[in-house]
Structure 1
Amino acid sequence: MTPFAAAVTVGRLVLPMPGADLPACDHARCAERLEAELTALRATLTTGPPAACLPPDGEADRVRHRWFTGHHAAFTVWQLLARGLSTLAATPEAAATLPIAWTTALYDVYSVLFLYAAGCTPEQYATLLHPRMAAAHPAFSCGWARDHTPVPAALDAARDSHRAAALDRLSDAVKDNQRVHMAVARRLVPDGSSPLRQAGRSPGPEPTEAEQALHDAHFRVERQPLCGPVHRAQLVRLLNLCLADIGAYGLGPLPDGCPERFGRESVARLIAVAVCEEPPARNAPPKIPNPTKGRTT
């Protein structure tokens, strides 16, 4: 399989532009798509993943599969995270329990997805992943992801709107996410020579529209309006692909410095977000939805 072939097997991801509305939808086709993805998720969690959810057999193919699947899921989670943090910023502290729990859960899933996507060796990264990014642009950076751009500002707004003590769990999740990033970067690129640095550039300035478009093209992301059910259906499918892969091959060894809880809780974190139609109550266990609910015979 060529370095490009795994992207084809994963498929393209359709997302709206960050900040675009995700309207409710009463189209039967959209509801059926979401129901089908929930049915597949239930199968993965009970009897085993459907054939369409199984990861590739070959190790190199699986590295590429994880890279694209993990990033696609992260882009979708980032959109939800920016929305959730904006909601939190606008919510009075007395009523903020649910948005705090939801954004905390999304940050933890973001951390797990980063570990999943980058769960390869430095040698595999250097030979299977890095060359294609460098070929797309000598300074290619994952910091060009347009879906992540609104997240830091939304987090700052949430922090400005609430006491630090009220956001302690969210702040812990953010800190753990930063630890995951640093640990993965040290493992994959021990000398710190990312394409951005190799091209003589340093992180900092906001990416240009051209750079964001190039990032979309690299990860096979198309921008179109979506309704809420289809947006959620895509996330359920992507998290199900991750769950099927982790179930078959594990998350992989955690890099040095990564919070150990993600090794123990990765599957539970993914499930908790995959099954939630709305922010979960604090400490509430995840519930698997009934995929036949509302179906008529």
Structure 2
Amino acid sequence: MPGQEQADCGHKGCEERLRGELAALRETLTGNPPAAYRAPAGEADRARHRWLTGHQAALPVAQLLTAALHALAAAPEEAAGRLITWAVALYDVDSVLSLYSGSCPPALYGSLVRPPAMAAHPALSGEWARDHAPVPQALRAAQDRHRAAPARDQLTRAVKDNLRVRMAVARRLVPEGAASLLQHTGRCPGHEPTEAEQDLYDVHFQVQRRPVCRSVCRAQLVGLLGRCVADIGAYGLGPVPDGAPERFGREALARLVAVAVCEGPPAFASQIPQPRAGRARIRP
């Protein structure tokens, strides 16, 4: 059941899959990514690849972020600083993934990326993702618990920068005055997405959900971020849109790799709930 903690299954195949993804990431960092990590050379195919891969990678990142924020809300003051640092790293990776997903030229977005989303549902939105939905409430709980934490300003900055990135990407991709898929969800603000809408989001982004063990969950994260790293290393991230912090362009690869190789700082990793049943499984 979703919400029930999922331990390591102990199957050698799952552990080998994780080791294989980590090895592939290491090869990518030497400039020799495996074939499965390489992005399409054509601009149009790469635009589709980035839109799909970036959104898929954001799902396990959101799962980790929710878990980190819940851990922060329950943590004593002395543990807050390290937990905040991890949450900030995850927010920043989500910001990089937003830039990556929406890095195609506006003309390609309008002709290739947006029409399938509109065909799926005119109001298809990132708010429909099951994995993103718990983040705002978890953030409020964490902020309420640690109002005076010295590192709290870092978290506030990361949250604001994440919103700046999303708005900047939307402004760049959508012509002035057009209704952005990121901004119009077809409901009043504050209303949760329906189960049918969440299912539609999964179908559009090729996500299957079933219980997976911790090793498989992490292997998926490493593999997805590794594909982003290989793509950016070969073709660049592209210009950072006006209004988004420039640091995400300069530090994109470093931020992706840091999260890919680490489940969480060792000092508090045990406090963070581990991958649970019902996690997303991304189609290869």
Structure 1: gaps spanning 5 or more residues: 1-15, 283-297
Q: Which residue of 2 aligns with 1:251?
A: 237
Q: Which residue of 2 aligns with 1:216?
A: 202
1:20–1:225: 8 Å Cα contact kept in structure 2? no
Structure 2: gaps spanning 5 or more residues: 269-284
Q: Which residue of 2 aligns with 1:5?
A: none
Q: Give CA-to-partner distance per residue, 1:188-225, whole Å, 9 cap, x none.
A: 11324125878975554211111111111111111101
The separation in 1 between residues aligned to 2:165 and 2:31, in whole angstroms, is 32
Report how far residue 142 of structure 1 moved.
Answer: 2.0
Q: 1:43 to 1:253 in 2, by over 3 A?
A: same
The separation in 2 between residues aligned to 1:74 and 1:199, in whole angstroms, is 19
The one of 165, 180, 183 aligned to 2:165:
180
The one of 47, 60, 63 aligned to 2:44:
60
Q: Which residue of 1 aligns with 2:274?
A: none
- What is the identity, as a one-letter code, of the residue corresponding to 1:260? E
Moved over 3 A (4+): 195-204
Q: 1:60 to 1:23 in 2, by over 3 A?
A: same
The separation in 2 between residues aligned to 1:241 and 1:266, in whole angstroms, is 13
1:24 is the counterpart of 2:24: no
Normalising by structure 2, report the TM-score: 0.88
Q: Give CA-to-partner distance per residue, 1:204-257, whole Å, 9 cap, x none.
A: 421111111111111111110111111000000000000000000000001001
Q: 1:278 to 1:59 in 2, by over 3 A?
A: same
The separation in 1 between residues aligned to 2:6 and 2:107, in whole angstroms, is 40
- Where 2:208 maps in the other structure, the secondary structure is strand
Report how far residue 20 of structure 1 moved.
Answer: 4.6
Q: 1:52 to 1:197 in 2, by over 3 A?
A: closer
- What is the identity, as a one-letter code, of the residue corresponding to 2:41? D
- Identical-pair percentage: 62
Q: 1:117 to 1:22 in 2, by over 3 A?
A: farther
Is 134-143 or 86-95 further displaced after alignment?
134-143
Q: How does 1:146-157 map to 2 (within 5 A)?
A: 146-157=130-141
1:128 is the counterpart of 2:129: no
The one of 40, 57, 63 aligned to 1:79:
63
The one of 124, 128, 135 aligned to 1:144:
128
The one of 219, 232, 256 aligned to 1:270:
256
Task: Give me the CA root mean square deviation.
Answer: 2.0
Q: Which residue of 1 aligns with 2:247?
A: 261
The separation in 2 between residues aligned to 1:268 and 1:210, in whole angstroms, is 37
Q: Which residue of 2 aligns with 1:291?
A: none
- What is the identity, as a one-letter code, of the residue corresponding to 2:229? L
1:133–1:140: 8 Å Cα contact kept in structure 2? yes
Is 138-147 or 77-86 further displaced after alignment?
138-147
The separation in 2 between residues aligned to 1:193 and 1:45, in whole angstroms, is 39
Q: 1:43 to 1:198 in 2, by over 3 A?
A: closer
The one of 223, 228, 243 aligned to 1:242:
228
